Chain A
Amino acid sequence: MRQQARSVARIVALRAIAQRFSLAVLLLASVGVMMIGKIDAVIVENLRSRVTDAVAPMLDAAARPVAAVNQVIADARAFLALREENARLAARVAELQHYEAVAHRLEAENLNLQALFNFHPEQTHAFITARVIADNSGAFVRSLAVNVGTRAGVGDGMAAVGGRGLVGRTVQTGERSARILLLTDLNARIPVLIERTRQRAVLAGDNTHQPSLAYLPPDSAPLAGDRIVTSGHGGLFPPGLPVGVVASIGDGLVRVEPFEDLSRLEHVRVLDFRAHTGGAAMRGIPGGGP
């Protein structure tokens, strides 16, 4: 009897030691995994896109009812504000009619000048519309998962835009899903232009909702309200995509408010820009042709 009690006590003690040992091993393994991610990002990114791919159908299915409920709420709200909306839009139309005339004149002038200089306009880009199936924006990462991947012709490094402006770029593409690094993420760096002054800068995310402009030329004088567009440098993004407006200038930091509300995206368009640029940088993208 006593022997049995002793062996039970021994088993309990052994189990406690084994548990503590497994904790230590797993904590070390976590640190090891962090180091692997730091040294060889490719393995980790590969694994990431596989896991996202595997759960994409589930996330997609779950995202649909949420989107539907949001749509109903938005519809109800829009219905209530119909009269005001109408008055506002009528005023806006009157204002825009003036710009329409200006635009027609400028377009004609532009075509004339292009013909004069034998200018080759850039080819238009194809796009793939995707549904947002996961919003991974935590306190430390800003990214989305969408339900299109290599099967639909999406590749790494493509620009993702919403209805109003740039959202980010694709960073890992699986077969059925892709991750979009938002322009607010700490690791996002996008070559941009200040539209008014044509000065180049890099839009650097820092996990806040307003990324800042880095590498501004010293003589630049951005003003609040200046439009920021992609510059097209580096060849990743087409030039001239609207990004945002300068929101505040202070402490040597120029903050940009993105045009797109990044926290309520339901659909994004992935621009297949490089497939049409040709040359050495052209990559074979299935289904990406015109």
Chain B
Amino acid sequence: MGTIGRSPWQKLDLWARAAAPSLSLLVLVMLGVMPLQLPGYGAVAPLLPLIGVYYWILHRPDLITFPVLFVVGLFQDLLTGGPLGVSGFVFLTIGWLVLSQRRVLAGMPVLVVWSGFAMIAAVAVGLEWLIISGLYGEILPVRPAIYRALVTGAAYPIVAVCLHPVLRTMTPPPPSA
């Protein structure tokens, strides 16, 4: 299937649709640092891009590549001021994990997909905690990490509902995917 015979606008449209998942991850990173001015929110702020990573790999693994996860992770670390490279490592690991479990989760009822994500969130935040503790050379408080995992897990449906319209506007995946 080639793009011969398509107008530039059609090409742009196709390109935009293919890039939408990656762009949505960048938007989630920025939403994650919005100053909401809620007391105590900062300590438990959910890892919003992780939801996007899970959602897109589950629904359109052909549109999210490992380099994209790496770049989104770098962007997250640069913006939040966390140690550089940690989020990239976490997103790549989670991306690989979800990709390997995709067959099990695809087409399951929403609640199963959600609880799958809750487990993934626990793994991701645990990994993050472990790496940052190692980098700083001291054991970080565990409680904020637990809250972060819980809040991230709980935020899944909200983000998924926002990503759903994006998924619906997309062209269907190639048959091999």
Contact = CB atoms under 8 A, between A and B. Distances in A.
A66 B37 CA distance: 9
Given A26-B92, A51-B79, A264-B37, A207 B131 contact: no
Interface string A261-289: 11111100000000000000000000000
A63 B33 CA distance: 10
B42 A34 contact: no
Given A26-B66, A264-B39, A48 B81 contact: yes
A167 interface: no
Contact of A135 (B36, B95, B144): B36
A32 interface: yes
B2 interface: no
B12 interface: no
Interface stretch (B14-22, B51-59, B108-116, B132-140): B132-140
B84 A44 contact: yes
Contacts of A81: none
B8 interface: no
Q: What bracket does the count of chain B residues touching chain A fall in?
A: 35 or more
Given A12-B176, A33-B74, A135 B89 contact: no
Nearest to B39: A263
A112 interface: no
A93 interface: no
Interface in B1-41: 30, 33-41
Nearest to A134: B33
Contacts of B78: 47-48, 51-52
A19 B99 CA distance: 11
Given A26-B70, A139-B125, A144-B35, A207 B80 contact: no
Interface of A: 12, 19, 22-23, 26-27, 29-34, 36-38, 44, 47-48, 51-52, 55, 58-59, 62-63, 66-67, 70, 132-145, 179, 181, 186, 206-209, 261-266
Interface of B: 30, 33-45, 47, 65-67, 69-70, 73-75, 78-86, 88-89, 92-93, 95-96, 125, 128-129, 131-132, 135-136, 140-141, 144-145, 147-148, 176
